[in-house]
Structure 1
Amino acid sequence: MLLVELERFIEEDLGYNDVSCTVVPDCKVRAEVVSNEDGIVAGLAEATQVFEYFEVFATTDLAEGTAIKKDDIIFTLEGGARSILRAERLALNFLGRMSGIATLTRKYVGRANGVKIACTRKTTPGFRKFEKKAVIAGGGDPHRFNLSDTVLIKDNHIAVLGLEKALKSAKDAASFTQKIEVEVEDTDSAVRAAELGADIIMFDNMAADEIEKCIKRLDEKGLRQGLILEASGGISMENAGDYAKTGVDVISIGALTHSSLWLDISLRIKQ
């Protein structure tokens, strides 16, 4: 995390008239950051930076992506009482948010039978890199970080230009390093996108059995080789296993970042 980012987060949290932290004497204390539930820990580096900024000595034996149990100690802290109180909420926000994402990602990975689980760009503005880092900690793939990483031709592009023209325009404009992905909603569109040279085909909001039939058609036409196939939309914890059996290479799930619950984590001053 860049210092300017850290200071922006700290300024937002402290405000201009911090009375609550100044009512306690600035004596030296010990504290612990503890998990109140089982999960996958993420955000350790960010929390450490917050503590260090306030000159709180923080130690941990954990690594990003470690499975933790209820009552496990994530950090032991030593420092001024006021400094620990000022660092507390921001550090716990990073840990809670990122660990929640990592925990949900790991659950999906467990349902995917070896198929890659990826997130999307449905992220919190200003916090995307931390959310995608949390997905990685959970064993998932960050997908593209921004619009420059991969060319993705979606339904609205096709509505304006048509599939063939949209794909041709993308090929003409894209760098040789950029893959071109096409979003499809039926078998005919998938076959056509493959024939036109798409690198990745995303099956958008298609049922698992429809995707399976589509992949069979691509195989029959000799178009499957070299294609990356991605399923996205309508995928839940309950049906992720069904999608994993279709033959896709990737399952992308927006819920990893937009619907994950925070992991419950607390800070306790021990003195």
Structure 2
Amino acid sequence: MSRAAVNGDFLPPPAEVIEADVARALAEDLGNGDVTATLLPDVADSAYLLCKEDSIVCGRPWFDACHRALDPDVRIDWRVSEGDRAGKGMVLATLQGRARSLVSAERASLNFLQTLSGTATVTARYVEAVRGTGALILDTRKTIPGLRLAQKYAVRVGGGANHRMGLYDAVMLKENHVRAAGSITAAIHAARAMHPSLPLIVEVESLAQLEEALREGCTRILVDDFDAAMRREAVRMARSAPFNGTIPLEVSGGVDLETLRAIAEDGVDCISIGGLTKHVHAIDLSLKLGPPPAG
């Protein structure tokens, strides 16, 4: 099954979000003008985008927007689609435009592409590691400030799915909320009364709290710091009558590629991983003036 089939689509954020991201990036790089680019003749030129390591391509809308912001007439011919696998030494795209604009947009465009490709690439590794288990890989809110929508888009391109976007689109009850309310039940009742239309995610720290959350009902339950035996018992409880697997279980914290498969095989539904967007390994890319090498 393709990532598109799993993910639904690769729809990027709205154009105005991408344009705002690009405007900030160009403003911090160009300031009041690219003094080095003025050393180049302002003539038509070409360039090519080179991939220097295996990756999942992600970030084309931001790359294109950077170059078109400085040269609306630039021509960009992509040789790969968003979400494609690219190998070391592959030419990803060729560009035709003004020499000064090509070099002035270079760094900002590459920063977006290498960062988002890095997020998509690592997500794809986690997705592949749980293949066949039924577990869904989720991101978190541990994103680069100002680039949350971009990075969460990259997670989708890599085959993962998005957790809540922020503190506004889902209620997530944690230890502090339960402590303030007095119990899981009281916290759930308060959340439903105040935000009845929002998804409700409940973090539990024991099997007793899990049973309480299952009984009261919610959108998803996060089992926090459960060992393998507790996870398997949690799955058994959630899938037995009267609950019958209607509330998905999520695991978060202490998850890496070495531990991931075993956690997924315990039967949990979702695994959220902050490292998808927090520990970014930017893909090595370069933009070079001139035609691409032959062959």
Q: Give TM class, smaller chain.
A: over 0.9
1:8 counterpart residue number: 24
Secondary structure of the 2:258 match is coil
What is the identity, as a one-letter code, of the residue corresponding to 2:76? Answer: A
Write out per-residue CA displacement over residues 139-165 of structure 1, whole angstroms, 9 at most, x where no aligned residue. 000111122222111122112223222
Q: 2:220 aligns with which of 163, 175, 200?
A: 200
Distance 2:113 2:227 in 1: 35
Q: 1:260 aligns with which of 280, 285, 290?
A: 280
Distance 1:101 1:130 in 2: 10
Q: 1:81 aligns with which of 85, 88, 99?
A: 99
Q: How far is the alpha carbon of 1:129 from its aligned partner?
A: 0.3
2:46 counterpart of 1:30:
yes
Q: How far is the alpha carbon of 1:171 from its aligned partner?
A: 0.9
1:172 counterpart residue number: 193
Q: How far is the alpha carbon of 1:47 from its aligned partner?
A: 0.5
Q: 2:112 aligns with which of 76, 79, 94?
A: 94
Give the paired residue count: 270
2:66 counterpart of 1:50:
yes
Q: 1:61 aligns with which of 72, 79, 83?
A: 79
Instruction: Tell me, yes or no, if the aligned pair for 2:156 and 2:162 is still in contact at 8 Å.
Output: yes
Write out per-residue CA displacement over residues 51-83 of structure 1, whole angstroms, 9 at most, x where no aligned residue. 111223211032211111001111101111110
Question: Identity over aligned residues, as a percent?
Answer: 35
Please, what TM-score do these two structures have when normalized by structure 1? 0.94
| 159-168 or 182-191, larger mean C-alpha shift | 159-168
Q: How far is the alpha carbon of 1:17 from its aligned partner?
A: 4.4
Distance 2:50 2:224 in 1: 40
1:189 counterpart residue number: 209
Q: 1:212 aligns with which of 213, 224, 232?
A: 232
Secondary structure of the 1:239 match is helix
2:7 counterpart residue number: none
2:165 counterpart of 1:149:
no
Instruction: Tell me, yes or no, if the aligned pair for 1:35 and 1:74 is still in contact at 8 Å.
Output: yes
Q: 1:136 aligns with which of 141, 145, 156?
A: 156
Q: How far is the alpha carbon of 1:199 from its aligned partner?
A: 2.2
Instruction: Tell me, yes or no, if the aligned pair for 1:52 and 1:58 is still in contact at 8 Å.
Output: no
Runs of 5+ consecutive residues of structure 2 not aligned to the other structure: 1-14
CA 15–208 in structure 1, closer or farther in 2 if over 3 Å, else same: farther
Secondary structure of the 2:257 match is coil
Distance 1:4 1:42 in 2: 18
Runs of 5+ consecutive residues of structure 1 not aligned to the other structure: none
Please, what TM-score do these two structures have when normalized by structure 2? 0.87
